[in-house]
Amino acid sequence: MDIAELTRRLHAIRDRNDWRRFHSPKNLTMAASVEMAELVEIFQWLNEDESRQLPPEQLEHAGQEVGDIVLYLLLLCGELELDLEQVVRAKLADSERRFQ
């Protein structure tokens, strides 16, 4: 995954539609949370086995919601001047250290 390319493409859509004025860290965090809730809704009443074997249309829907969440997080990182790859690598290293 080329995060820089994804970010450039996402920012082009944002700028073409004049959405930056709405993209405060608060709003982006709230939007990511809404998308996460939409992902949760897919699994809400499923048992463990059902949640691991989604029918194709639900799996596609789950993928769309995951995509939405990631895109909002990319926008949030841009607004906060965070390097997504760097923060993920740092968190992963911390988890490796803590949970060996």
What percent of the chain has a predicted confidence (pLDDT) above 90? 99
Domains and CATH numbers, the chain: 3-98 (1.10.287.1080)
Q: What is the mean pLDDT of the chain?
A: 97
Supply the pLDDT for residue 67.
98
Supply the pLDDT for residue 83.
96
State pTM to two decimals: 0.93
Rounded-to-integer distance, Cα 72 and Cα 25, Å: 10
pLDDT tens track for 24-72: 999 999 999 999 999 999 999 999 999 999 999 999 999 999 999 999 9
Going by the DSSP 8-state scheme, the letter that residue 65 receives in this structure is H
Supply the pLDDT for residue 57.
98
Residue 1 has pLDDT above 90, yes or no: no
Distances (CA, A) of 93 to 2, 27, 51, 57, 99: 21, 29, 29, 35, 10
Rounded-to-integer distance, Cα 61 and Cα 84, Å: 24
Count Cβ atoms below 10 Å from residue 66 Cβ, excluding itself: 13
Phi, psi of 12 (to 5 degrees): -65, -45
Residue 94 has pLDDT above 90, yes or no: yes
